[in-house]
Structure formats: structure tokens, C-alpha cells
């Protein structure tokens, strides 16, 4: 059980960490992703990906694009480092629920849009694959929330 | 309870970090998404002119919506070029075009931004004679002009 817990922490935290670093690097730092017909992706491109889901109000898409990668970075980083494990897994659970709902919404409405799962470098479209991947990640996150390895110790009974 | 408080703390710290990074980033964006710019007269094409272009057979009509919307109904002869898949599809279309080619992009609904985005993309690539038909699909088919259904061959 201890090993399962450790592996899940590293895999889930690692995926979130990687996803966040890619998003932040891609939109804030990198200038390398220039193809013949596209331009350097920036935060506005990622915000456009967010807008395309038509889930948050259009005005708030920028705010989501600005803050989401950093929440992912913190939650993933803390989970990998083993700090506030249950809390960071809870944050990831909440994020996964939102992502799944957004992908489900996009699929239900037939939007053929870029997933944006790993920022603008990820050209995959939303689809059943993304839905299943996120489902697995959600299951992992729920496991980490519900089955913390370190059970809180009960307060020792005080003898009179 | 402590877990919830810590989770909230992580969220708030993430929001604070994101806002801070956006302030110092040279590629910062406004916190709230600005409303789409109203169409400029020089960027849009009137229905009458679009119809003349279509009848003359000299203009290219690009459907900026998704492939499924295109299949459900499109301007007859229009080419499907969803903005989201621009990089995938445009290389096949580019050999047909000259920089002077008259191009009409369209999507649907007054608040649809896809045709405008397609116009901007094409202009950036040097196709200066590109404009978009506002509320294109609805405008075209309610005017009783020729439409087709089915996916792009």
C-alpha cells in the first residue's frame, strides 16, 4: 500500500508538474515554437484555448489562463515533494473534476477544439481519449485524498 | 478541516503566483479578456458583394467553423478551414491561392470570432484581399443563396 501511494504521488504530481512547467515555459518564456504557419504561442493563445471551451465567462478566460498553471505547479510540486499531500491531492481532484466537466461539455457540444491539456504545445483535440486520461487521473487523485498513507494519529488517552 | 484550509491556501498561493508572474512577464496579458473588437468596415464584406464574388467564381470562400458545422451546411463551394485546425489544413489549400486572391471567410452568429481570427491569420501570411462576412452562414442561407451539405471531399 505504501508503494502504491508513493507511485501514485509521483505519477500524478509529476504529470501536474510537467503540465504546469510546459504551460508556463511555453507561454511566458519560450520563443521556439514557431512553425511555418503559426506564431509564437503566448498567454493569449492559451487564453483562447480556454475561451474555446465556452465554459468560463469569456471575460474570465484570461484570468484562468494566468492562474491555472501556477495552481497546477504548486499542487503537483507539493505532491511530489510529499508536503501537504492530502491537500494538494484535493486541489488536483477539484481541478480534474473541472477539466472533465469542460471536456465533457466540449464533446457534448461537438466543439473540435484544442485540448490545451499541456498548454499550447499540445495540439491534441478534445476527445474520448482526453476524457479517459483525465478520468484515470481523477481516480488517482481521489485515492490519494481518501486513503492518506499517514493516518492522523489519535490523541493518546490521558490516564487520570 | 485542515486539509481544506491547506487546499485553499494552495489555490490562493497559485493565484497570487500567477498574477505576480503575469505582472513581470514581458508577454503579460490583461487580467480580464477584452471584448471582441467590433468589425471594421474594411475587414468585412457586404452580402451583395460576397454574392457577386461567389457568382463570378473568382473568390474563395473559407468556412472557419468546425468540420461538423461545415458538414451540416455551408456556402456552396466553400472550403472548410476551421481556425482551430489552421496549421493542419492550410498547407493543402495554400497552393490554390495567390496573394491577391479575393477571400471571404465566414462563421455564424454575430458574436462568432472565428472568421475574424481566420482573416487575421491569412493577412499575417500576406493574403491582403481577405475579408469576412459578418454572421456569414445565417446571412447567406436566410438570403436564399445556394448552400450545400456534407463533409469536404
Written in H, E and C, the secondary structure of chain B is CHHHHHHHHHHHHHHHHHHHHHHHCCCCCCCCCCCCCCCCHHHECCHHHHHHHHHHCCCEEEECCCHHHHHHCEECCCEECCHHHHHHHHHHHHHHCCCCCCEEEECCCCCCCHHHHHHHHHHHCCCCCEEEECCHHHHHHHCCCCEECCCCC
Q: Are residues B66 and B97 both part of a single domain?
A: yes
- Record: contact A67-B18, CB cut-off 8 A: yes
Per-residue pLDDT, A31? 43
Quote the pTM value.
0.69
Q: Are residues B16 and B81 both part of a single domain?
A: no
- Taking CA–CA distances from B94, the nearest residue in chain A reads A37
Q: Which residues of B touch A (CB under 8 A)?
A: 2-7, 9-11, 13-15, 17-19, 21-22, 25, 27-33, 35, 66-69, 82, 84-87, 90-91, 121, 124-125
DSSP A125: B
Domain of residue A115: give its range. 2-30+41-146
- Taking CA–CA distances from B7, the nearest residue in chain A reads A87
Please report the beta strands in A18-129, taking only residues with DSSP state E, as ranges in sequence order: 117-120
Per-residue pLDDT, A38? 41
Instruction: Look over chain B and give the mean of its residue pLDDT values, rounded to a whole number.
Output: 90
- Record: contact A70-B30, CB cut-off 8 A: no
Angle at CA of residue B130, ends B125 and B134, nearest 5°: 130
Q: Are residues B66 and B20 both part of a single domain?
A: no
The stretch B88-98 carries a mean pLDDT of 92
Q: Are residues B103 and B139 both part of a single domain?
A: yes
Q: Are residues B28 and B51 both part of a single domain?
A: no
Per-residue pLDDT, B50? 95
Structurally, how many domains does chain B consist of? 2
Is A112 within the bounds of a domain?
A: yes
Give tens-digit pLDDT for A102-149. 999 888 877 767 788 887 666 677 888 889 999 999 999 999 999 876
Are the C-beta atoms of B101 and B70 separated by less than 8 Å?
Answer: no
Residue A39: which pLDDT band, with cuts at 50, 70 and 90? very low
ipTM for the predicted complex: 0.83
Q: Are residues B69 and B10 both part of a single domain?
A: no
Dmax (CA) of chain A = 79
Q: Are residues B79 and B135 both part of a single domain?
A: yes
Q: Which residues of A touch B85 (CB under 8 A)?
A: 112
- Record: contact B3-A90, CB cut-off 8 A: yes
Give tens-digit pLDDT for A9-32. 999 999 999 999 888 876 655 444
pLDDT at residue A71 tops 70: yes
Is A35 within the bounds of a domain?
A: no
Measured in angstroms, the CA of B4 and the nearest CA of chain A are apart by: 7
pLDDT at residue B69 tops 50: yes
The stretch A45-71 carries a mean pLDDT of 86
How far is it, in rounded angstroms, from Cα A145 to Cα B3?
9
Per-residue pLDDT, A29? 55
- Taking CA–CA distances from B33, the nearest residue in chain A reads A59
- Record: contact A70-B17, CB cut-off 8 A: yes
- Record: contact A37-B86, CB cut-off 8 A: yes
Is A63 within the bounds of a domain?
A: yes
Q: Which residues of A touch B29 (CB under 8 A)?
A: 42-44, 47, 62, 65-66
Return the residue in B13, B25, B28, B29 with the most chain A beta carbons within 10 A, the one to mutate for interface testing: B29
Q: Tell me which residue of B119, B122, B117, B107 sits closest to B70, measured CA to CA.
A: B107
Domain of residue B55: give its range. 41-148
Give the up-direction half-sphere exposure of residue B23: CA atoms within 13 A in the CB hemisphere. 6
Amino acid at each position: 500500500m505504501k508503494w502504491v501511494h508513493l507511485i501514485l504521488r509521483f505519477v500524478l504530481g509529476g504529470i501536474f508538474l510537467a503540465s504546469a512547467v510546459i504551460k508556463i515555459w511555453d507561454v511566458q518564456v519560450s520563443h521556439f515554437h514557431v512553425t511555418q504557419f503559426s506564431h509564437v504561442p503566448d498567454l493569449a493563445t492559451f487564453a483562447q484555448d480556454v475561451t474555446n471551451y465556452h465554459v468560463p465567462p469569456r471575460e474570465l478566460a484570461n484570468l484562468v489562463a494566468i492562474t491555472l498553471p501556477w495552481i497546477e505547479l504548486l499542487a503537483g510540486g507539493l505532491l511530489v515533494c510529499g508536503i501537504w499531500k492530502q491537500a494538494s491531492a484535493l486541489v488536483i481532484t477539484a481541478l480534474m473534476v473541472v477539466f472533465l466537466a469542460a471536456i465533457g461539455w466540449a464533446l457534448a457540444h461537438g466543439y473540435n477544439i484544442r485540448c490545451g491539456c499541456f498548454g499550447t504545445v499540445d495540439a491534441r483535440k478534445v476527445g474520448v481519449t482526453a476524457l479517459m486520461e483525465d478520468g484515470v487521473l481523477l481516480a488517482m487523485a481521489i485515492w490519494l485524498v481518501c486513503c492518506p498513507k499517514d493516518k492522523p494519529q489519535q490523541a493518546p488517552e490521558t490516564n487520570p | 478541516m485542515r486539509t481544506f484550509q491547506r487546499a485553499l491556501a494552495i489555490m490562493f498561493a497559485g493565484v497570487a503566483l500567477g498574477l505576480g508572474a503575469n505582472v513581470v512577464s514581458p508577454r503579460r496579458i490583461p487580467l480580464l479578456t477584452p471584448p471582441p473588437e467590433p468589425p471594421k468596415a474594411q475587414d468585412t464584406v457586404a452580402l451583395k458583394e460576397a454574392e457577386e464574388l461567389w457568382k463570378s467564381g473568382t473568390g474563395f470562400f473559407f468556412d472557419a467553423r468546425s468540420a461538423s458545422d461545415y458538414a451540416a451546411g455551408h456556402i456552396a463551394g466553400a472550403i472548410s478551414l476551421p481556425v482551430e485546425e489552421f496549421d493542419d489544413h492550410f498547407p493543402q489549400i495554400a497552393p490554390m491561392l495567390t496573394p491577391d486572391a479575393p477571400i471571404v471567410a465566414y462563421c455564424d452568429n454575430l458574436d462568432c470570432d472565428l472568421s475574424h481570427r481566420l482573416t487575421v491569420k491569412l493577412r499575417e501570411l500576406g493574403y491582403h484581399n481577405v475579408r469576412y462576412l459578418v454572421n456569414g452562414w445565417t446571412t447567406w442561407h436566410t438570403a436564399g443563396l445556394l448552400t450545400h451539405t456534407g463533409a469536404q471531399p
